[in-house]
Amino acid sequence: MEEKEKILAGELYDANYNEFLANERLKAKQLCYEYNKIEPKNIEKRIEILKTLLGKTKNKFLIEQPFICDYGYNIEIGENFYSNHNLIILDANKVKIGDNVFIGPNCGIYTSGHPINVEQRNKGLEYAKPIEIGNNVWLGGNVVILPGVKIGNNTVIGAGSIVVKDIPSNVVAVGNPCRPIKNIN
């Protein structure tokens, strides 16, 4: 099984010494570099690069600079998507983001993680699990979403939260670890 197949299967894989994965990351890093150097007023060029970089987009979206991702092609964003500055998406596995999602500054969406076992970790092995964010979601500033998490529709994640497990639809959730504190009607 190739390393890319292992990633999508949620198995341990070697990201550090695999030439194919290293080249794929380098392509994405180059596009991120170009994107982050474009004048902010040149929205058309910014959108063009994002459409080249990201796996799937709809028509109306914007990611404020700077933006960093690992591969890009594993990221799918919905209609009317907006992210403030300093979004980092480690997209070794799939990241699916719904329509009408707003992300505050300095947020991180991380599909990748490292084994607790020191021998595996020291070999450069890691794992990646998909992340899914529903429709009509708002992530406050400095939110971190960890591997394998699903966030339901119509949900608000409070600033500074660390999301380590699934969050249902129609709630306000906050904290470390993030947990629902209020239903939204």
pLDDT of residue 139: 98
114 is catalytic: yes
CA dihedral 48, 49, 52, 58 (to 10 degrees): -50
Does the CA dihedral 75-125-176-167 come out positive or negative?
A: positive
134: helix, coil or strand?
A: coil
By 3-state DSSP, what share of the chain in percent is helix, strand and coil, each rounded to 5? Answer: 20, 30, 45
pLDDT tens track for 95-133:
999 999 999 999 999 999 999 999 999 998 999 999 999
Closest CA to 32 of 64, 76, 75, 67: 67
27, 85, 96, 114: the active-site residue: 114
Spatial CA neighbour of 92 closest among 125, 67, 122: 125
Query: Is pLDDT above 90 for 18?
Result: no
Question: In the predicted model, is pLDDT for residue 70 greater than 80?
Answer: yes
Nearest-10 Cα torsion for 57, 59, 64, 66 = 40
- Separation of alpha carbons 43 and 177, rounded Å: 36
12: confidence class by pLDDT, cuts 50, 70, 90: very high
pTM of the model: 0.96
Residue 185 is predicted with a pLDDT of 83
Give the model confidence (pLDDT) of 71-92 as tens digits: 999 999 999 999 999 999 999 9
Distance CA 66, CA 87 (A): 7
Q: Confidence class of residue 1 from pLDDT cuts 50, 70 and 90?
A: low
In CATH, the number for domain 3-183 is 2.160.10.10
Residue 175 burial by Cβ neighbours in a 10 Å radius (0-12, 13-18, 19+)? middle
Q: What pLDDT was estimated at residue 17?
A: 81
The residues that bridge with 103 in the sheet, in sequence order, are 83, 139
Q: Are strands 95-97 and 75-77 parallel, antiparallel or unpaired?
A: parallel
* Domain chopping of the chain, boundaries: 3-183
φ, ψ at 29 (rounded to 5°): -65, -35
In whole numbers, what is the pLDDT of the chain averaged over residues?
Answer: 96
